[in-house]
């Protein structure tokens, strides 16, 4: 028996959200999307019972993995993304032997993905709760309940597990009944919240926090906030890098502009209808053809590496080899895990003057990791999501369209598409990786990671395109029948 025959009874019976039997009206899709987003924000404010607040284990990856530190959604979309990485690698190596165009194999693939998500929730949550106090239990709660610290830890893990399962099914509800992708919308929701706070946050100055951009400039102009002589070195530093946040604002606007421009760059392949004369169209092969979602996989891989380093440090402590990493307040300051940590605006500028060689090595490693990883995961993403030349040619064929001047044959269309899709996929994936590193180095408003903001802009742009397409289908039902 093959592994598919052995695992089929389990994988095909995994709980799932039922697909709509017919067309879902656009307003109903918006209603489902809005409802899930409200539930997401509600759950990010339901904090773990029995857990003491501590430093965020995911740190600068929080905007990528969504969720909220110390809440029921503490794990965010991390388990889903990690499971996707495993499936991408297995599928890319052709170890699964699944044909996602086959309905039964597709059901097995989805069941396997859900099973892996459950496994990843356990592999992430158990060490976080039981190893090294990364999510410490409250002793007062243990005494109050009379179950001991071990009992409280199991209660904390149970909440993490339920939160991880809820994120999985909320993502599935949006994918089947709503607009866009649940993973993308959760990232947009979290980053948007941070971004808005970065503009209008009022408190935080007294405890070392950052004032919102507009609030800071209102206080600077009224003299309530002193930055020193504006033309002095200290004054310019305060304006551009300090409370003035001019560099962060410029970086934020630059990311918006570059991503929107990159989304609009495309190669358009002309199409004509085989039976309807005069019916013409174009198939766009965008520069960012694989979207920016593969970049989530790359950053999530880095997050898992850093998480593994935190676990080793918590277990070994002073016995951890220096070449692996030396930690200070939960952050690596030297060693292998230090060099593998992504660059961000909060540390590399201050370290550049004292450790120029180390910072240069870190930038080179981060750039290499993101560019090469972005290209590789983009190729995997295109192949596993049915966006490759073969699948795209079949979709064009099924829609009744053809490429003018070529025979109406999937094999012929596939060869034409192979001239564009693989090359554009690699270039687009590498470009997104380069943009992500540059954005992280410069910093943004609201202390959002540059990668998080880049993902947010791109996901929002694609969501806008999807909403426009949905509205077009609602206005012209015949187009919905034509394109499926």
Domain CATH code at residue 482? 1.10.3370.10
How many structural domains compose the chain? 2
| 477 assigned to some structural domain | yes
The confidence score (pLDDT) of residue 109 equals 84
Domain boundary among the residues 168, 184, 200 is at 184
Out of 138, 166, 184, a domain closes at: 184
229 found inside a domain:
no
The pLDDT of residue 438 is 85
Q: Does 257 lie in the same domain as 374?
A: yes
Is the same domain home to 149 and 283? no
Q: Which pLDDT score is estimated for 388?
A: 86
> Which pLDDT score is estimated for 381?
84
Residues 50 and 119 in one domain: yes
Q: Which domain holds residue 463?
A: 245-484
pLDDT at 206: 43
Shared domain check, 152 and 272: no
In a domain, 131, yes or no: yes
Q: Answer with the one of 184, 207, 235 that is the final residue of a domain.
A: 184
259 with 173, same domain: the answer is no
At residue 73, the pLDDT reads 92
Q: Does 275 share its domain with 419?
A: yes
pLDDT at 278: 63
Residue 239 lies in a domain: no
Query: Is residue 317 included in any domain, yes or no?
Result: yes
Please indicate, yes or no, if residue 240 is contained in any of the structural domains.
no
HEC string of the chain?
Answer: CCHHHHHHHHHCCCCCCCCCCCCCCHHHHHHHHHHHHHHHHHHCCCECCCECCCCCCCHHHHHHHCCCCCECCCCCCHHHHHHHHHHHHHHHCCCCCCCCCCHHHHHHHHHHHHHHHHHHHHHHHHHHHHCCCCCCECHHHHHHHCCHHHHHHHHHHHHHHHHHHHHHHHHHHHHHHCCCCHHHHHHHHHHHHHHHHHHHCCCCCCCCCCCCHHHHHHHHHCCCCCCCCCCCHHHHHHHHCCCCCHHHHHHHHHHHHHHHHHHHCEEEEEEEECCCCCCEEEEEEECCCCCCHHHHHHHHHHHHHHHHHHHHHHHHHHHCCCCCCEEECCEEEECHHHHHCCCCCCCHHHHHCCCHHHHHHHHHHHHHHHHHHHHHHHHHHHHHCCCCHHHHHHHHHHCCEECCCCCCCHHHHHHHHCCCHHHHHHHHHHHHHHHHHHHHHHCCHHHCCHHHHHHHHHHHHHHHHHHHHHHHHHHCHHHHHHHC
| Whole-structure pTM value | 0.84
The reply to whether 429 falls in a domain is yes
Is residue 367 in some structural domain?
yes
Examine the domain organization and report whether 282 and 429 are in the same domain: yes
Instruction: List the chain residues with pLDDT less than 50.
Output: 205-208, 483
What is the structure's pLDDT at 198? 87
* pLDDT reported for residue 449: 79
The per-residue pLDDT for 475 is 61
Looking at residue 133, what is its pLDDT? 64
């Amino acid at each position: 028996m093959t592994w598919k025959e052995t695992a089929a009874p389990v994988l095909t019976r995994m709980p799932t959200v039922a697909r709509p039997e017919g067309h879902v009206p656009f307003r109903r899709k918006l209603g489902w999307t809005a409802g899930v987003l409200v539930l997401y924000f509600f759950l990010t404010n339901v904090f773990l019972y029995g857990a003491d607040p501590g430093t965020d284990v995911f740190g600068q990856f929080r905007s990528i993995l969504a969720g909220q530190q110390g809440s029921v959604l503490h794990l965010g979309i991390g388990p889903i993304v990690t499971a996707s990485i495993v499936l991408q690698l297995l599928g890319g190596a052709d170890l699964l032997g699944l044909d996602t165009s086959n309905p039964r194999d597709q059901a097995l693939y989805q069941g396997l993905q859900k099973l892996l998500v459950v496994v990843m929730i356990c592999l992430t949550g158990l060490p976080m709760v039981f190893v090294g106090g990364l999510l410490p239990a409250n002793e007062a709660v243990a005494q109050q309940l009379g179950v001991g610290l071990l009992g409280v830890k199991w209660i904390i893990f149970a909440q993490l597990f339920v939160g991880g399962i809820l994120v999985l099914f909320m993502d599935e509800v949006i994918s089947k009944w709503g607009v866009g992708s649940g993973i993308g919308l959760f990232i947009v929701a979290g980053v948007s919240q941070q971004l808005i706070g970065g503009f209008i946050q009022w408190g935080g100055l007294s405890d070392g926090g950052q004032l919102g951009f507009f609030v800071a400039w209102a206080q600077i102009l009224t003299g309530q906030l002193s930055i020193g002589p504006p033309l002095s070195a200290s004054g310019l530093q305060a304006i551009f890098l300090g409370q003035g946040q001019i560099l962060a604002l410029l970086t934020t606007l630059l990311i918006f502009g570059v991503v929107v421009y990159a989304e609009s760059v495309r190669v358009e392949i002309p199409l004509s209808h085989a039976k309807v004369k005069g019916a013409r169209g174009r198939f766009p092969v965008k520069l960012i053809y694989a979207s920016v979602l593969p970049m989530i996989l790359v950053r999530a891989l880095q997050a898992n590496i850093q998480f593994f380093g935190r676990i080793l440090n918590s277990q070994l402590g002073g016995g951890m080899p220096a070449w692996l990493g030396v930690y200070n307040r939960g952050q690596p300051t030297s060693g292998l895990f230090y060099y593998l940590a992504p660059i961000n605006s909060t540390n590399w500028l201050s370290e550049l003057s004292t450790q120029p060689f180390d910072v240069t090595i870190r930038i080179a490693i981060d750039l290499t990791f993101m560019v090469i990883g972005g290209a590789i995961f983009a190729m995997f993403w295109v192949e596993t999501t049915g966006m490759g030349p073969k699948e795209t040619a079949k979709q064009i064929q099924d829609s009744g369209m053809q490429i003018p001047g070529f025979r109406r044959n999937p094999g012929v269309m596939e060869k034409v598409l192979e001239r564009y899709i693989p090359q554009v996929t690699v270039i687009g994936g590498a470009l997104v990786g380069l943009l992500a590193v540059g954005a992280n180095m410069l910093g943004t408003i609201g202390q959002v990671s540059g990668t998080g903001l880049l993902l947010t802009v791109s996901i929002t742009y694609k969501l806008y395109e999807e909403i426009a397409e949905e509205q077009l289908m609602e206005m012209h039902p015949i187009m919905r029948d034509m394109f499926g």
